Amino acid sequence: MANTNNTKKFYYGATRDLISVAIGTVLTIVGFFIMKTLLSLLEEGDARIKLIKIVCIVSYLIIAIPCIIGCLVSTYIKTYSILVINPNEIVYNYGWMTKKTVTIPACKIRSCSKSIGILQTRCGTMDISITTAGDSSEIHFSNIKNGEVAYQVISQMAK
């Protein structure tokens, strides 16, 4: 069992994903108003034109609203991810209804790399990838808060 004094916990930072959902929502709303404006250019006289307008608006909403809700739920589910770094191993717990755990012994870590996008820099998160000696050679952790500290600890374990 690992010494809890040297255990470090890192959590998923949802800020970047929430900003992406917000941008997607704004683009969806703008697209809706553009579609509605284009449909208003059709002549109003025929009942079929009214039916076409209604079908277009309803189908757009049927597609757009579940996509936005799905992105929000996906982001919420990721908030249950925790990266725990012990002196002898790395433990990654994730999952919402079904909890899953990936344990990586320190002796199996070959290398560690990091990736930081512009939005991640603003949000204080980063992606970390670990190459191991096992069957699944690449393990990826997304949007880790305080990722620079996690990267340094994992890099020390790889040496």
Percent of the chain with pLDDT over 90: 9
Mean pLDDT taken over the chain: 85
* Same domain for 111 and 73: no
* Same domain for 26 and 104: no
Match 């255990």 to its residue by tokens: 7
What is the mean predicted confidence (pLDDT) over 50-76? 88
- List the domain range (segments joined by +) for residue 71: 15-77
CA–CA distance, 144 with 113 (Å, rounded to integer): 13
CB distance 54 to 44 below 8 Å: no
* Same domain for 154 and 86: yes
pLDDT tens digit sequence for 106-144: 888 888 899 998 888 888 889 998 888 866 667 888 888
What is this structure's pTM? 0.69
* Same domain for 31 and 91: no
CB distance 88 to 106 below 8 Å: yes
Q: Write down the pLDDT at residue 114.
A: 92
Phi then psi for residue 145, to 5 deg, are -70, 145
pLDDT-based confidence at residue 3 (cuts at 50, 70, 90): very low
Q: Write down the pLDDT at residue 4.
A: 53
CA–CA distance, 85 with 6 (Å, rounded to integer): 8
CATH of the domain at 122: 2.30.29.30
* Same domain for 151 and 99: yes
* Same domain for 37 and 23: yes
Structural domain count of the chain = 2
pLDDT tens digit sequence for 139-159: 888 888 888 888 998 888 887
CB distance 114 to 126 below 8 Å: yes
* Same domain for 108 and 69: no
